[in-house]
Structure 1
Amino acid sequence: MLELPWRKSSYSGDASNCVETAATSTTIHVRDSKTPTDAHLTFPPAAWARFVSSAAKRVL
């Protein structure tokens, strides 16, 4: 099984209540940092980019 390079946002500090992402050349993986051994979601890069762009517009 592929070991994914999970990354947590620097904004979350030492908190464990955030989302972690891991990127490969063809997919973006997303998981809950509180339960890292549970299942995670997988998206094509274009779909993840649309989601992040849409979420950023709602925050601003």
Structure 2
Amino acid sequence: MQYENWEFDLEPMEFEGFNVKYRYIKDGIPTVLGITVQDIYLYFNFDVVFKVEIMFKN
């Protein structure tokens, strides 16, 4: 799926060298496998996603 404006849905959190951590701020993914999502973090290195972290609510 092509999505051209994804950068507007991300909030920068941490910068470490060339690695940048962003928080996904759009509310388009309320659940994953039936579990409520609290936060989604995307990690980039030179504008390439290398890690996605999904935090679930307890």
Asked if TM exceeds 0.5, the reply is no
- Say which structure is richer in strand: 2
TM-score (norm 1): 0.36
Which protein has the bigger helix share?
Answer: 1
Query: Which protein, 1 or 2, shows the higher relative CO under an 8 Å CA cutoff with sep ≥ 6?
Result: 2
